[in-house]
Structure 1
C-alpha cells in the first residue's frame, strides 16, 4: 500500500489533516474532509484548489476505505502507530494525551491536568459537583419565564410557538437561507428570524453574553469571529476544540450578519 499512496495525496486541502470522512470535488478531484467541504459551500463558495465557482463535493467511499487503512503516528508522540479508523480510540487512552483547561487554557497530561483543576480551580470544581449549594435568590437581571396560557409575541408582533429544538418560530420569512433551513422561520426546526432569535436569548437569559442559539437549539458562544456550541461529535470531538466546528455552528457563523445587532450592547429591543 505504501507504494500506492503517500500521505500528502490524501491530506485535506483546507485543514491539511488526514480526513476521516473524505470528500472529493467534481471539478478537479481535490480532497477535503466533510467539515471543510461544508464550510467551503456555506462560506467562500469557491473550490479551494481550482477556484471553480459553486463547487460540488461528494463522499468518496473508495478513498475513505483506503484512508482507513493508512498508518498514522500518534499526535501525542507516544510512538503508537495505527490505522486512521482506529487512531481515535487510541487517543482516548493515550498515556501522553494532552488535556486543555477550558478556564485558562492550561495544558498537561492527565494527572498534571487533574492536579491543576483541583488546585487552581478548586472553587469552580466544588461549585460544579456540590448539589447542596443554593442558587442565588437575587438574579442580576430579570429572569423571563413562559406562561403557557399567554401568547408569546416577538418584537414584530408575530405570535410565536416553540419548535422541537426549543427555539421560537413565527412561521414568517427568516430573511436568509442556508444549509440548515429552508428560509422559513419554523414551524418546527431550522433557523429562525432575528425577532424570534431575540426571544431565544431573552427567555434563556443570554442577553449581553455574546451568544446565539444555533439551528439545533444549542447555545453557541462567539469566539474569534465564529460560533461554537461545545457539542461532542464521536468522529471530530467537541465543537470549538482543535479547529472543529459542527454544521449548525458553521451555518450560524455564516448567518451572523442577520443576527449581529442582537449582540450589540445598545440593543433597544430587549
Structure 2
C-alpha cells in the first residue's frame, strides 16, 4: 500500500518532521522518497535528509496538510481546545499567549496587553512606519504617474494630474490672471491653467460653453451673463440658497469665472 494511511489510523507521530521533530507545518513531500518535512525546514536544503536525493525537490502534500489541520490541539496560553488548523489564528488574538518582541536586540516577553503597552511605549515609531508601509500599497493613489486615468499630458507638454477638486493640474505657472491663487496651476486645488482646463472639459465630455470653477463644479452662463454651477450655497446673500442655475447671485467660485472665464477654452476641441 502506498501513500499515507487513512485518517482514522494516523497518529501525530506519523506526521513529525525528521528535521525539527515537531508536527509538520505546511507539509511538503520529497519527490524521490515521499518523506514529509516542514516547508520552512527544507528551505535552502540541497539534499534530502532521508534519502539523500540531490538536488532535493519537493511539492506540497495537501492530504497531509488537511489531516494535520484537523488534529486536536490546545492553546498554550489560555488552554482552549480546537483543531490544529485554527490554532494560529486563535493565538494572534488570545490575551494569554506570551509574545516576544520582534525588535532585534529587545528581550521583552509578555501577554497581549503587556506586549501592546511595550510596543506602544518603546517602539511606537517602528509601529507607525510598519502600519503605513503595510497599507500604503492598498490605498488608492489618484496622482500615480502610472495611472492613465489620473495622469495625462496637457497641450503644453506638461504632465497633469487629477487634484482634490477633480480637475487636472500641471503645477506650472497660471496663464490666467485669477488674482485668488498663488499663481500656480494646482497642484491639488484652485484655478487651473488654460491647457488643464481643456483637459478637464474633455475628460468630463462637457458641451461648448461649459467651464469648471475652482472648486471643481461644472458651470455655465445663465440668462444674466454670469456663470452658475447650480450648487446649494449656504448664506448666499440675495439668493434662494442656490448658485443660479440661470439667474440671481452666484457663488464665489463662479464669480471668479465671471472675471477671467473669457481666457479659458469653452470647448475641448
Q: Tell me: higher relative CO, structure 1 or 2? Use CA pairs within 8 A at least 6 residues apart.
A: 1
Question: Same fold by TM (over 0.5)?
Answer: no
Question: Structure 2-normalised TM-score?
Answer: 0.40
Greater radius of gyration (CA): 2
